[in-house]
Amino acid sequence: MGFNAFRRCLFAALAALLVGVGGAVAVAPAQAGQDDDQFIELLELEGVPYANETEVIRAGKQYCLDRTRPNANMGRVNNDVMTKMGWSGSEMQDFARAAIRAYC
């Protein structure tokens, strides 16, 4: 096989991979949107205040990632989120429950 034939095969394989990844990414937002909607609904039911929907969604997803880290210090994680968002302890508990139900 010549170099040009090899390059064509390589580019064809790369194109197929990108199409496959693009299809997977195109499907992902629909599910993510449902999770986000559930999360926001739970926060609103509990009366957890937030100024920016995108920011609180990002915080909920990050909260679940932080919970799964080895040796996670949940006291620190909770305190960091609570301080950043300006929540009381009760609001933080409601946020944590909502994040766990929607994202964890």
pLDDT, tens digit (0-9, with 9 covering 90-100), for 52-104:
999 999 999 999 999 999 999 999 999 999 999 999 999 999 999 999 999 99
Is 8 a domain residue?
no
Residue 19, in any domain of the structure: no
Tens digits of per-residue pLDDT, 26-47?
Answer: 434 445 589 999 999 999 999 9
- What's the confidence (pLDDT) of residue 3? 53
3-class secondary structure, 48: coil
47 CB-near residues (< 8 Å, 6+ apart): 91, 94
How many domains, the chain?
A: 1
Whole-number Å distance between alpha carbons of 99 and 40: 9
In a domain, 98, yes or no: yes
State the alpha helices, DSSP H only, in 1-104.
Answer: 3-46, 53-67, 74-85, 89-103
Question: By residue range, what is the domain housing residue 69?
Answer: 29-103
Q: Would residue 38 count as lying in a domain?
A: yes
Q: Is residue 21 part of a domain?
A: no
Q: What is the band of 11 on the pLDDT scale with cuts at 50, 70, 90?
A: low
Would residue 18 count as lying in a domain? no
Is residue 75 domain-resident?
A: yes
**Confidence (pTM):** 0.67
Give the C-alpha separation, 38 to 55, whole Å: 15
Nearest to 101 by CA among 54, 45, 24, 55: 45
